[in-house]
Chain A
Amino acid sequence: MKIMLVDDSRTIRNIQKNVLKQLGYEDIVDAEDGVIALRLFNEQVPDLMIIDWNMPNMDGITLIRKIREINKTVPMIMCTTEAEKSRVLEAIKAGVNNYIVKPFTAESLNEKLTQTLAKTNAAAGA
């Protein structure tokens, strides 16, 4: 399974990478903004994406909208400090499958990842 991490903080991407590797996910690509993420997406569609909201060049919500225009199924999890209900609703409307509020623990990342994959697999099997 290929997972793409999109966050302008390299520290956050490294933390997420370490958690994912401990969970057994080895095929991980990362991008520091939406522009790079979209280019990587067009080269090879990942199986899941974890996306920050506030980034330079192209923010996460714009990236999600652009991806949903071309791909309706790839699971996307927003991982952000934007915690207000209005923001969560905006992200869901844009097409995210799940939402993690920073600060996050390894357990919460694992939980949301598992939830998202389970729902995606169930939908694919239905």
Chain B
Amino acid sequence: MDVRYINAFVRSISNTYETMCQLPVSVGKPQIKANEGPGTDVSGVIGFSGDAAGCVVLHFSFDVASKLATRFAGIDITPEHPDFADAIGELANMVAGGAKAQFDGLNISISLPNVIVGENHSVSASKVAPRIVIPCDTEVGQFHVEIGMEIGKPKTLAAAATQGAAS
């Protein structure tokens, strides 16, 4: 995945949490995910389609997700609160939308957010594209953002298919 697209996510993560949670984020070095690794408690998932295919997943522990949701909503939000998943999903939506806006010249749609809540779960993604993990550190704790995405591929494939059909 082109570093320009990874940087778009890095900027969007910082902007989203600083603006909506008044929380500076220290973003670590993005790494290729080598294995499934340890599970997570809360995942906010946004799908991409169009000129980019894949998804971005924000992974949190219960504790960090709860503290972030509380800062975002301005009220105490525990994992049992009816707005817990809504708050996590909306933060994921803003991260994905903010990154998408920086993908110049690409026509991309994002899905409505999905949120998975459950102790020590994992989220499987397409094995086609390498998955990039961006570690994030804040004063309320750590979380990480996982990106698994092919960019420009659908258009390329469609063009190749059209060419093949014509020849």
How many interface residues does chain B have, given as a range? 20 to 34
Cβ B97 vs Cβ A102 within 8 A? yes
Query: How far is it, in angstroms, between the C-alpha of A39 and the C-alpha of B112 when the chains are bound?
Result: 23
Query: How far is it, in angstroms, between the C-alpha of A94 and the C-alpha of B74 when the chains are bound?
Result: 33
Q: Which residues of A contact B100 (CB under 8 A)?
A: 81, 83-84
Q: Which residues of A contact B93 (CB under 8 A)?
A: 9, 54, 81, 102
Cβ B90 vs Cβ A82 within 8 A? no
State which of A15, A54, A80 has its C-beta within 8 Å of the C-beta of B73: A15
A16 shortest CB reach to chain B, Å: 11
Interface residues of A, Cβ cutoff 8 Å to B: 8-12, 14-15, 18, 54-56, 80-84, 101-105
B64 shortest CB reach to chain A, Å: 17
| Residue on A nearest B15 in the bound complex, by CB | A103
A103 shortest CB reach to chain B, Å: 4
> Binding site of B, secondary structure by majority: helix, strand, loop or mixed?
helix
Query: How far is it, in angstroms, between the C-alpha of A52 and the C-alpha of B2 when the chains are bound?
Result: 30
Given known A9-B89, A11-B87, A18-B74, contact A56–B94 (CB-CB < 8 A): no
Given known A102-B94, A103-B19, A104-B19, contact A11–B112 (CB-CB < 8 A): no
Q: Does B98 have its Cβ within 8 Å of any Cβ on chain A? A: yes
Cβ A81 vs Cβ B96 within 8 A? yes
Cβ B90 vs Cβ A9 within 8 A? yes
Cβ A9 vs Cβ B74 within 8 A? no
Q: Which residues of A contact B101 (CB under 8 A)?
A: 81-84, 101
Cβ B74 vs Cβ A54 within 8 A? no
Cβ A8 vs Cβ B96 within 8 A? no
Indicate with 1 or 0, residue by residue over B97-114, a CB within 8 angstroms of chain A CB atoms: 110110000000010100
